[in-house]
Amino acid sequence: MPVDTQAAASRLMRFLAVEGVTGQEAAIGRELIAALQDCGVPAGAIRLDDANTRIPVPTQTGNLIVDLPGRGAMHNQPRIMFMTHMDTVPLCAGAKPKLAGRKIVNEAKTALGGDNRAGCGVLVTLAAELANKQLDHPPITLLFCVREESGLYGARHVKTEDLGTPVMTFNYDGGAASDVTIGAVGADRWQVEIFGRASHAGVAPERGISSTMILALALTEVKAGGWFGKVVKGKRQGTSNVGPVTGGEGRPAGDATNVVTDYVHVRGESRSHDAKFFKEITKAYKAAFENAAKRVKNSHGRAGRVKFKAETDYYPFRMKESLLVVRRAVAAVTGIGATPTIRAANGGLDANWMVRHGVPTVTFGAGQNEVHTIDEWINLDEYDRACALAVQLATMR
């Protein structure tokens, strides 16, 4: 079903112009509320939940939830949900969106924020189209999540009873509108504290225990064992990465070149479509750090030590193609004249947690390209298809 593409693009530009990196979503939340009310959604149908009070890192606001009552012949059908996330990666701070033909590009040397302001544009456009054209549809919940980019926290901590018991969900994130994503990887986030012993590196380096050397030896063992980057062990595959390396209280690791570094804090991740395998990757990192700590000793025979912690950030999933939500997704993509491509994502999605909550969820793209980079841009033709697809999904019988 055709949508008002000019209005849809205008909304997208409006949302891209509002800064709202992960954890700092209050301003974009206010802008979304204003846009929804501009579309005729009553203020009483819009609310913010208290998920931010349960998220373990500072978060300005809760998830934005919108209730759209059913209309017409479909008013008493089971409720469905559309969701997206409203945060962007920190690299998007200071973005300056600009129209360039059928693209939106960035005039600043930052990421653009199409991931995921394009998803926000799709959901608000859906609300506008349903209201303006008085289309028949079942009861619908719109969910705009916080802190997707820093750990899927909004979707993880939403209370499912606040969502009105939807029987299925359609999530908008990266890729093409015709991508029917029915699965995604799971991941561990791990961190390790490396405790050494400080000493004057110029006068008595032998008395020190270098946390930096423990880190280097551990990563050497991980790399030699094939556990870093793309990890392939027989038929099992996954990935891993070592992230920020810092010292105490966010400082750099080590205070000066003339002091043996006595403390290093490291964070990383392990991912796979196989939950047992990403746990195995994490276990390899833990063993490597523990082995390295035992190897680095000072002149008195004292060794370093490590404190390793790991937590499952989100769980992998793969839905059956026979599920109603998948069949509806495939039919809707076909209904807008596109060819559906059923796939699984190699990254985490809010859908990981929604499926974990018991709500089957398919994810589509909305024209985002080169996300999380300074080369990011949005394909407006694909964005328009994503908007048309949302209307198709909401109104098909």
pLDDT digits (tens, 9 = 90+) for 115-158: 999 999 999 999 999 999 999 999 999 999 999 999 899 999 99
- Taking each helix axis as running N to C, give the angle between helix 275-295 and helix 211-224, from 0 to 180 degrees, rounded to the nearest 10: 140
Average pLDDT, the chain: 96
Beta strand pairing status for 97-100 and 46-48? unpaired
Q: Map residue 309 onto helix, strand or coil.
A: strand
Tell me: domain 5-184+317-395, CATH 3.40.630.10, correct?
Answer: yes
Q: Which residues contact 212 (CB under 8 A, 6 or more apart)?
A: 196, 253, 254, 261, 264
Inform me whether the pLDDT recorded for 309 exceeds 90. Answer: yes
Determine the pLDDT at residue 247: 87
Domain boundaries, the chain: 5-184+317-395, 186-314
Determine the pLDDT at residue 175: 84
Determine the pLDDT at residue 255: 72
**How many Cβ atoms sit within 10 Å of the Cβ of residue 357?**
15
**89 neighbors 372 (Cβ within 8 angstroms):** yes
Q: How far apart are CA 71 and CA 88, in angstroms?
A: 33
Mean per-residue pLDDT, 331-345: 96
HSE-CB for 292 with a 13 A CA cutoff: 28
Determine the pLDDT at residue 256: 82
Sign of the alpha-carbon dihedral angle for 240, 242, 244, 249:
positive
Q: How far apart are the first and last CA of the chain?
A: 14
Determine the pLDDT at residue 1: 62
**361 neighbors 354 (Cβ within 8 angstroms):** yes
Helices (H), the chain: 5-16, 26-38, 114-132, 153-157, 211-224, 275-295, 324-335, 350-356, 380-395
Q: How far apart are CA 288 and CA 306, in angstroms?
A: 10
* Confidence label for 193 from pLDDT (cuts 50, 70 and 90): very high
213-254 pLDDT per residue, tens: 999 999 999 999 999 999 999 999 999 999 999 987 767 777
46-79 pLDDT per residue, tens: 999 999 999 999 999 999 999 999 999 999 999 9
* Confidence label for 174 from pLDDT (cuts 50, 70 and 90): confident
Best CATH choice for the domain 186-314 from the list 3.10.20.30, 3.30.70.360, 1.10.8.50, 3.30.70.1560 = 3.30.70.360
* Confidence label for 182 from pLDDT (cuts 50, 70 and 90): very high
Question: How is residue 78 annotated by DSSP?
Answer: P
